[in-house]
Chain A
Amino acid sequence: MRKIFFYAALAGLAMVPSIAAAYGGEAPAKAAVAVINDPAHGWNELGTHVLIDMLAFTVVFSIISFYFVFKYTRKSENQEGALPKISRGTSLAWAIIPTFLFLADDFYLAANGFKLWNDQRHVPEGALEVKLTGHMWTWEFDYGNGVRNDVDKEDRPILIVPQGRPVVLRMSSEDVNHSFFIPDYRIKEDLMKGRVTYLWFYPKEVGEHVITCAEFCGTKHSDMFGKVKVVPPAQFEAFLAAKSAPKAATASAPAPAPAEVAPAPAQPAPPAGGKAS
């Protein structure tokens, strides 16, 4: 019995670093110096850790399994297996120790997963608010002040956003469930009628990224795509100015230099009509 306790305690020690990671990991910084934890970057980091985790298990189990499969074969006709009789202590150890090892791994994953989850669900201050309405089979973006999105020459929606400023989408559907998915930003969330859901992402570099629907919504579910277009802030301001009603154009003066990331005044985006989530 004492032997199991020893080994179990040893395995339990493996949980200590994980618990330490859970409590010791730094909390998201407060507003004064706004540190924005990019969820896409966090996803890639955690994803790499999980991949290594899976590979480690794969290698260990594969080596053991291959060895057993090839080594323990029948040498003579009436040969029976020679699995040793194990004591109750050993039997319990084979339950408790693997359990602790799996739990240690689970704690580690939970702690890191929880941290990334908080980053994904906590919208940074000063994020650009965009209202999204999904319906069969396209997306419509509303920047406020009557500014709506453009479409490309195949009629696909373009979500234009300024580089260097987090963007939050407040989303609702006009008909069935849809799901707004931007693979490059590692994020999606469902849209439904009568509720407002949200997601946010952090477009740090200029570029274009696929947007597509990720919840089955009928015939053209796989045709409901568009793109995010990240542009220099000046170009975004120009877009807003060009699209706003002429009277409202006084709100945004063209920004001087692209290097300065100066967030424009927050766009109001009250969810119209639906229940807030």
Chain B
Amino acid sequence: MIKEWLFTTDHKRVGILYLIGSIAAFAVAGIMALLLRIELSTLGHTIMEADTYNTFLYFHGAAMILGFLIPGLTGFMANYLVPIMIGAHDVAFPRLNALSVWLFWAGIVLALLTFVIPDPPDIMWTGYPPYSVQTAGNTAFYVFTVHLIGFSSLLGAANFLTTVVYMRAPGMGWNQLNIFVWATVGAFIVQLIFVPVLASAVTLLLLDKYLGTAFYDAVKGGDVFLYQNLFWFYSHPAVYVIALPAVGALLEIISTHTRNPIFNYKVTVYGGVIGVVLLGSDVWAHHLYASGIADWLRIGMMFTTLLISVPMGLLTISMVGTFYKGAARYPTPMLYASSCLFLILIGGLTGIPLALTSLTLHLHGTYFVMAHFHFIMGIMATFALFASIYHWFPKFTGRMYNETAGKVGFWLNFIGVNVTFLVLFDIGVRGMPRRYYDYQMFPQFEFYQQIATVGALIIVLGMTVTILNWIVGAIAGEKATDNPWGSRSLEWTHTQTPPGPGNFPTPPVVDENWSPYNYGGHTAKTI
């Protein structure tokens, strides 16, 4: 059995392997966060020394972004759903797919080894030189983890783009695709173009540190800005690699549970998804607003960063609009999906002051930024992933999760994340810097740190209930019917539960009116 899974080339199993790896990364990084929160709850030393704190914080950031969010929302979700949604029997290159997930797991293992070596890195997920070159910590671990997970992503991108272009069911035009498929296409286009730039950034770092080159050493003729620009040139588009599949999945879930088509489908795809892909590549210097780079570059990227509110706004309008005159029910997946309306609002709106160079000269490097990206990535994207796991749970596992436990877990998580992160906006504006082990210069913030820690404890409860619910449900849940939500999407209407090898007993063929959103008399032509 182990051999079947280890050497599988079935996209559904590859997807589950990605899911297990990313949830494992999430759990470890989450425990790190809890420990950090406990340390921060009192002034001065609480449970750990500064170096330990810095190592845990480095791991938390790197693992959450590179080990959980990106692999979870692309590796897992795309793998399981995209071939089935387009009516294909598998991806274009199944063995390449297996290699992708092996590389991902190798990256996870390497990252976990961080805790075993005597000199773990403490360079933060951004890894800025000169610190990352001068530190005694093992920067090479960081670089090789990025290489492994990066290669995994590049192979995945090549695979899925080919799959969607060439393997759609006969009769399925581009304007009949699930919005999730479009969102995944957008995410993988971004990965394909930008991951190599991150690879170059960290590879030059490796060379500087271990071979004595001077790419990033200003005194020897290099430039510290080179790293920052190369790093963020990838890492900003990376947030859209996370946000696009998240929003795509949310739209699928909202559509199914409200029994409505996506509101304004073409505008959502061409204005929203494609708009984000195009604009998302031109905003990276907003991470460098306080860095000392040329003024004209900073102000230029203020304009582009403000503009990205347009496609993101269109996606948000689509999410809200899909509820209009719908017939909604609110099982657990819909609780998570609806809460994302609020989360994307807070996360997106707090991006507005951060788009302005002038306001960001104060806000950069404070808890305001940290709360902003936690809302949009740590909470909205995570809740979208959880909504997806709940929504497709009966299809993946053939069993139902426990609905009460699902609701209890949701409310604990939702209340917990708000208690933790809302107060952090406030102390951020008042000057609390991020990545701080201690805050002796701001003793008045101790009370707020404690509130945030209470929130973290609530989150731990919520996550425990949620993950246990999944595990117990997968093993011993009630047997599920083929289409408990009454969805019109191919993965529900044409497959067994769980889908067998090759996915479809007979390969589906669709006509020009078919759409995964054939609700309320709509056809592909009317959405």
Contacts and interface: CB of A to CB of B under 8 A. Distances in A.
Interface of A: 39, 42-43, 46-47, 50, 53-54, 57-58, 61-62, 64-65, 68-69, 72-75, 79-86, 91-92, 94-95, 98-99, 102-103, 105-106, 109-110, 113-114, 116-117, 119-121, 175-177, 179, 181, 183-184, 186-195, 197, 199, 210, 212-223, 225, 275, 277
B267 A95 contact: yes
B173 interface: no
A214 B365 contact: yes
A219 B50 contact: yes
Contact of A217 (B131, B218, B292, B309): B131
Contact of B520 (A82, A179, A191, A195): A82
Contacts of A119: 358
Interface in B235-254: none
B502 interface: no
A43 B310 contact: no
A218 B358 contact: no
A54 B349 contact: yes
Contact of A117 (B51, B299, B306, B433): B299
Contacts of B306: 106, 109-110
A57 B519 CA distance: 31
B365 A86 contact: no
Contacts of B322: 83
A176 B362 contact: no
B200 interface: no
Interface string B207-225: 0000000000111000010
A188 B435 contact: no
Given A113-B358, A187-B362, A61 B303 contact: no
5 contacts: A83-B325, A106-B310, A109-B352, A186-B361, A195-B292
A216 B129 CA distance: 11
B267 A94 contact: yes
Contacts of A217: 131
Interface stretch (B92-100, B101-109, B438-446): B438-446
A79 B438 CA distance: 56
Interface string B423-452: 000000111010111111110000000000
Interface of B: 50-51, 54, 122, 124, 128-131, 134-135, 217-219, 224, 258-261, 263-264, 266-267, 271, 290-292, 295, 298-299, 302-303, 306-307, 309-310, 313-314, 316-317, 320-329, 338, 341-342, 345-346, 349-350, 352-353, 355-359, 361-362, 364-366, 429-431, 433, 435-442, 519-522, 526
B421 to A, nearest CB: 16
Which 6 pairs show the lowest CB-CB distances between chains A and B? Answer: A183-B431, A194-B218, A81-B260, A214-B365, A222-B436, A116-B358
B131 A62 contact: no
B218 A177 contact: no
Q: Which of A43, A80, A102, A186 has the most CB of B within 10 A?
A: A80
Contact of B320 (A65, A183, A214): A65
Contacts of B298: 117
B219 A214 contact: no
A94 B266 CA distance: 11
B416 to A, nearest CB: 21
Given A94-B317, A175-B130, A222-B439, A188 B326 contact: no
B361 A188 contact: yes
Contact of A80 (B131, B309, B323, B327): B327
A277 to B, nearest CB: 6
A187 B224 CA distance: 22
Contacts of A57: 345, 349
Contacts, number: 256
Given A91-B266, A120-B361, A222 B438 contact: yes
Contacts of A65: 320, 323, 341-342
User: Which one of B128, B131, B435 has the highest number of Cβ atoms from chain A below 10 Å of its Cβ?
Assistant: B131
B323 A69 contact: yes
Contacts of A98: 310, 313-314, 317
Contact of B352 (A50, A61, A117, A121): A50
A50 B359 contact: yes
Given A85-B526, A113-B356, 20 more contacts: A50-B353, A50-B356, A50-B359, A53-B352, A61-B316, A61-B341, A65-B323, A69-B328, A72-B327, A81-B259, A83-B324, A86-B264, A95-B264, A98-B313, A99-B314, A103-B307, A119-B358, A193-B219, A216-B54, A222-B437
B130 A193 contact: yes
B192 to A, nearest CB: 27
Contacts of A214: 290, 364-366, 433
A95 B275 CA distance: 12
A85 B328 contact: no
A47 B217 CA distance: 37
A83 B295 CA distance: 48
Contact of B359 (A92, A113, A195): A113
Which of B292, B322, B366 has the most chain A CB atoms closer than 10 A to its own CB?
Answer: B292
B358 A42 contact: yes
Contacts of A61: 316, 320, 341, 345
Contacts of B291: 190
A83 B365 contact: no
Given A54-B350, A80-B259, A222-B439, A106 B520 contact: no
A121 B358 CA distance: 9
Contacts of B521: 80
B128 A80 contact: no
B22 to A, nearest CB: 26
A105 to B, nearest CB: 8
A190 to B, nearest CB: 5
B371 to A, nearest CB: 13
B218 A275 contact: yes
A120 B357 CA distance: 10
A68 B324 CA distance: 6
A91 B295 CA distance: 40
A183 B258 contact: no
Contacts of A188: 290, 361-362, 364-365
